[in-house]
Amino acid sequence: MPTYSYACTSCDNAFDIVQSMSEDSLTECPKCQGRLRKLFNNVGVMFKGSGFYRTDSRSGTDSSASSTPSSPSTSTPSTPATPAAPSAPATAPSSPSTSSS
């Protein structure tokens, strides 16, 4: 069960309480019957072991892509459906030949 932190808005009483997630939040201070507010803290999550870094699943060669056939994609194809009109061939600028005789 998670531990929740509360603070009273009237008397600044702060405390932690273990509650199940299905229980309602506390609304009344046990010391002065003032209004409580829930405090939110950083969550202490630690990822231990392998598999949590981008480089953990990679090896020197990409053998998984070549050994496993890929399924057909349902996304938009990367090549256009209709062929594009051929562009004019690029020509190098001609330089006038200067011959002096």
The residue behind tokens 């990822």 is: 47
pLDDT-derived band at 77, boundaries 50, 70, 90: low
Residue 14 CA to residue 8 CA, distance in Å, equals 6
User: Using an 8 Å Cβ cutoff, are 65 and 31 in contact?
Assistant: no
Q: What are the tens digits of pLDDT across the range 9-20?
A: 999 899 999 999
pLDDT-derived band at 43, boundaries 50, 70, 90: confident
**Extents of the domains making up the chain:** 3-39
Two tokens at 90? 């690029």
The answer to whether the pTM exceeds 0.85 is no
The overall average pLDDT reported for the chain is: 73
Q: In terms of C-beta distances under 8 Å and separation of at least 24 residues, what long-range contacts does 23-30 make, across chains too?
A: none
Quote the Cα angle for 22-17-48, to 5°: 80
Rg over alpha carbons for the chain, rounded to the nearest Å, is 34
